[in-house]
Amino acid sequence: MKIGRQEHRSSGLSTSNADTIIVRGKDLCGELLGKVGFTEYVWFLLTGTMPQPAQRKVLDATLVAIAEHGLVPSVQAARMTYAAAPEALQGAVAAGLLGCGSVILGAAESAGRLLADVVKRAGESDLKTAATAVVSEKRAVKQPIPGYGHPLHKGEDPRATRLFEVAAEAGLPDDHRRAAKQVEALLPELTGKQLVMNVSAAIPAVLLDAGFPVGALKGVPLLARTASLIAHLLEEQAKPIGFVLSHAAGKAIEYDGPVPPGFERGDS
């Protein structure tokens, strides 16, 4: 059955014959393997060109920034899944990645699109006017401003601060970083709340300043988090806590439905 009207019949990522594997035009074994680091290779896979040192440095920094932050929900989901299904490490990693969505981690892409929009409009007016317009339009349709506010890091998100330093040290242009700062400065007036820029706005700010493709922004937390999930699942093999997490979580929730006469509540 034909679904959709897809017109393309080609892919430009890889081809191979019995002796040689080509990735984006280069011989994987002859030109890449052992010669480029994984971060450079990721950039190359996504864009088709090798990163400049400043680009690699910033991609490295964002991946390091977002990989690990303790027993966050996606890590808990992965550890519970692994405890229940130890035959499939890939399933536990997948369960963890499924929690990298619009509310958590996925904000990197929506924040990036917002910043790109601010930068684009600033070219036609000025940064403050552009940022005010973009934020106001979001507010008018009751959409949140992605990338600002954090449940724990209220003063500032130390990862955001540090990412901006790294981008500056690397000598990158700062259009998107300035846009991100401008949005932060406007939020108290436009939303009535003091919301600090968090890592989900800082990541797209520095990556877009480096020329990273906006459509791959959501991939950065996914890639970083995969590393962290593997580390947690390695720890889970040695010190399993998946069911301990679940037991503690379950005890925090009361049953609020009816019970038949005579039923005695126990440890459900």
Which residue number, 122 or 166, has a Cβ lying nearer to a second copy? 166
Minimum CB–partner distance for residue 203 and a second copy (Å): 12
Which residue number, 127 or 167, has a Cβ lying nearer to a second copy? 167
In this structure, what is the dihedral angle of CA atoms 45, 49, 54, 58, given to the nearest 10 degrees?
A: -20
Minimum CB–partner distance for residue 263 and a second copy (Å): 6
Orientation of helix 158-169 relative to helix 53-67, angle to 10°: 170
Minimum CB–partner distance for residue 205 and a second copy (Å): 15
Minimum CB–partner distance for residue 126 and a second copy (Å): 29
Minimum CB–partner distance for residue 200 and a second copy (Å): 12
Which residue number, 49 or 125, has a Cβ lying nearer to a second copy? 49
Alpha-carbon distance of 166 to 180, in angstroms, equals 15
Which residue number, 127 or 145, has a Cβ lying nearer to a second copy? 145
Minimum CB–partner distance for residue 176 and a second copy (Å): 18
Which residue number, 162 or 181, has a Cβ lying nearer to a second copy? 162
Backbone φ and ψ of 252, nearest 5°: -80, -10
Which residue number, 131 or 146, has a Cβ lying nearer to a second copy? 146
- Both tokens assigned to 98: 């499924």
Q: How far is CA 156 from its chain centroid?
A: 19
Which residue number, 112 or 122, has a Cβ lying nearer to a second copy? 112
DSSP-derived secondary structure letter, 170: T
- Both tokens assigned to 10: 């080609």
Minimum CB–partner distance for residue 122 and a second copy (Å): 25
Biggest CA–CA distance in the chain, Å, is 75
Backbone φ and ψ of 255, nearest 5°: -80, 125
Contact of 92 with 79, CB cutoff 8 Å: yes
Alpha-carbon distance of 22 to 42, in angstroms, equals 15
Which residues have CB under 8 Å from 218's CB, separation 6+?
100, 106, 108, 109
- Both tokens assigned to 64: 């390091």
